[in-house]
C-alpha cells in the first residue's frame, strides 16, 4: 500500500507542479496582456486628447463660418444686384441704340438704292439719245 500511496503522492505532486507551471504561464500572459492594455489605454487617451483638440478647432472654424456667412451672403446679394443692374442697363442701351441703328441702316440702304437708280437713269439718258430728239420738236 505504501507503494500505491507513494505513486499517488508522486502523481498528485506532478499535477500540482503542472498546475503551478500553467498558472505561472497564464499569469505571465495576463501580465503581458495587461501591459498591452495599459499601452493601448495610454494611446487611447492621447488619441482622445487629439480628438478633443480637433473638436475645439472645428468649433472655432464653425464659429468663424457663422460670423462670415452673413457677410458673405450680403456680398453675394450685392454682386447679384449689380449683375441684375448691369443686365438691365445693357438691355436698355441695346433697346435705345438698336432701333436708331436699324433706322440709319434702312435710310442708308434707301439712299444707296435711290442714288443707284438715279445714276442708272442719268447714264441711260445720256448714253442712249435718239436721233429724233425724243419727238419734242418738229425737226425734219
Q: What is the pLDDT of residues 7-44, one digit of tens each?
A: 999 999 999 999 999 999 999 999 999 999 999 999 99
pLDDT of 97 strictly over 60: yes
Distance (Å) of CA 10 to CA 4, 18, 19, 122:
10, 12, 14, 150
Distance (Å) of CA 12 to CA 5, 8, 17:
10, 6, 9
pTM of the model: 0.40
> In this predicted structure, what is the pLDDT of residue 22?
93
- Dist CA 96 CA 90 (whole Å): 10
Q: How many CA atoms lie within 13 A of 106 on its CB side?
A: 6
pLDDT digits (tens, 9 = 90+) for 32-82: 999 999 999 999 999 999 999 999 999 998 888 888 888 889 999 999 999
> In this predicted structure, what is the pLDDT of residue 68?
86
Amino acid at each position: 500500500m505504501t507503494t500505491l500511496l507513494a505513486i499517488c503522492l508522486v502523481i498528485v505532486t506532478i499535477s500540482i507542479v503542472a498546475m503551478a507551471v500553467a498558472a505561472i504561464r497564464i499569469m505571465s500572459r495576463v501580465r503581458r496582456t495587461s501591459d498591452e492594455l495599459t499601452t493601448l489605454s495610454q494611446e487611447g487617451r492621447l488619441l482622445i486628447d487629439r480628438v478633443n483638440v480637433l473638436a475645439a478647432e472645428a468649433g472655432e472654424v464653425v464659429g468663424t463660418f457663422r460670423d462670415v456667412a452673413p457677410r458673405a451672403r450680403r456680398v453675394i446679394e450685392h454682386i447679384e444686384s449689380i449683375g441684375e443692374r448691369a443686365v438691365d442697363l445693357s438691355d436698355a442701351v441695346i433697346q435705345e441704340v438698336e432701333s436708331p441703328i436699324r433706322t440709319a441702316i434702312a435710310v442708308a440702304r434707301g439712299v444707296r438704292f435711290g442714288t443707284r437708280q438715279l445714276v442708272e437713269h442719268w447714264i441711260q439718258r445720256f448714253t442712249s439719245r435718239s436721233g429724233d430728239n425724243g419727238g419734242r420738236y418738229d425737226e425734219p
